[in-house]
Amino acid sequence: MMNRSQMLGRSGVTVSLLALAISQVAYAAEAATASEAEQLKFEIQQLKLINEKQAETLKKMERRLSVVEQGGSVSVTAAQPKTAASTEVIKEAAPSASVDNMMEQEHALFNNDLTLEFGMNYSHYDRKELVLEGFLALDAIFLGDISVDDVSADIFTFDMTGRYNINDHWQLGVNIPLVYRETTFQRNVNSVGAEATVDEAALGDITLTSAYKLFQETATRPDIVWNLSIKTPTGSDPYGTPTITKTVNRVVNGSVTSDQVTYPEELPTGSGLWSISNSLSFVKTTDPAILFANVGYTYNIAGGFNDISSTQGNQPGDVRLGDSIFYGLGMAFALNERMSTSLSLSQRISQKSETRLKGESWEEIFGSDGNAATFNVGVTYALSDNLSMSTSLGLGLTPDAPDYSLGIKFPYRF
């Protein structure tokens, strides 16, 4: 049996082991608490950083919203200390070149001091008319000659345009065209046929333009520009031009058959009259598209000429071309920073023209009214920071419009 001293010794060892175990458990619990606290501190720090970033983004968006509602735009930069300088509104950098190109062609661009533009446009017309020379017998049988008159025209216009911005709301410009025209007249009766071609190259009508920005675009209102243009009669006029009659003879079945075609001696490169056009153009940005439209009226001023008839001898009188209303609408897409494309529809409706011989009253010219509608497709590309290329294709929708037209322009901004 164990004596008392042995029992006391064993009890002391048990107490020591129990105290050591308790201390280890306490240390482990303390370590776990410290690790959890560090984790919580880390998560709290991350949440604070996220909240600060969101608060910074929210302030930037609020500043941008405020400026947009007032009719402007801003660009934000990295967060800076809140000083008087850093709280000022910073204007946004210039828009992309693709947007500038579209604005310049369809509206007006006020970002640059001076823009010089060189361009070329080609239009083709082809008109065929069936002419009946005879009479209808028994309401079904036509007795006489059937002829087909064909007039085809090709018009090349080389022009130079200059635009100068007096300030960020007012722009003045001038357009100087050089016109080359070639027209072929054909007449075919009884399979004989006569043909004549006339061409002309000369200065066209110079146009002076003015564009004034009335309202800046906002969230609820489009950009609105008032356009005024004056066309001067610097080109050759079509009045009093003498005509030539060409006769072609051919032997058919032992008999001589002839055809005659009558055509003007020269072609005009202008209207010969002053005209004033007044219009409004609109642009609204609806990401990713840009909507644009215009509407206007052209007033032609009557003028007097020494001869207004194609017959021999001078017959002085006055000419008054019919006024016209016009409109256009379309949309454009910025494909990237340098390229944009556009689709549009334009239409011009003209009233009848009038002539007045000296000492007589005004008389309307039969068939002189017109309705020209065109569907247009355009592509613009920025060749550099200053030079761009703009191309267009127009398809005629009515007989008075060109069958098709092709255009290319190279605006250079200073």
The CATH number that applies at residue 259 is 2.40.160.40
Residues listed for the chain: 414
Comparison of pLDDT for 71 and 310, the residue scoring more: 310
Last residue of a domain, one of 93, 110, 145: 93
> SS3 of 37, please?
helix
Per-residue pLDDT for 49 more than 90? no
Last residue of a domain, one of 76, 93, 110: 93
* Alpha carbon distance 48, 54 (integer Å): 10
Span 198-254, pLDDT tens digits: 999 999 999 999 999 999 989 889 999 999 999 999 999 888 888 888 887 776 666
Residues 114 and 70 both lie in one domain: no
Per-residue pLDDT for 144 more than 70? no
Residues 303 and 378 both lie in one domain: yes
CA angle 392–229–103, rounded 5-degree value: 40
Q: Cβ(152)–Cβ(183) under 8 Å?
A: yes
Question: Across the strands, what pairs with 409?
Answer: 119, 390
Tell me, rounded to whole angstroms, the distance of Cα 21 from its chain centroid.
Answer: 87
Residues 198 and 254 both lie in one domain: yes
Q: What percent of the chain has pLDDT over 70?
A: 75
State the residue range of the domain holding 34: 1-93
Residues 84 and 105 both lie in one domain: no
* Alpha carbon distance 236, 200 (integer Å): 10
Q: Cβ(184)–Cβ(195) under 8 Å?
A: yes
Give the H or E element holding residue 361: none
Over range 359-363, report the average pLDDT.
Answer: 89
Burial level of 332, CB count in 10 A (0-12/13-18/19+)? Answer: buried
Over range 26-35, report the average pLDDT.
Answer: 58
Total domains, the chain: 2
- For residues 174, 329, 167, 164, the Cα torsion angle rounded to the nearest 10 degrees is -20
Name the pTM for this structure. Answer: 0.72
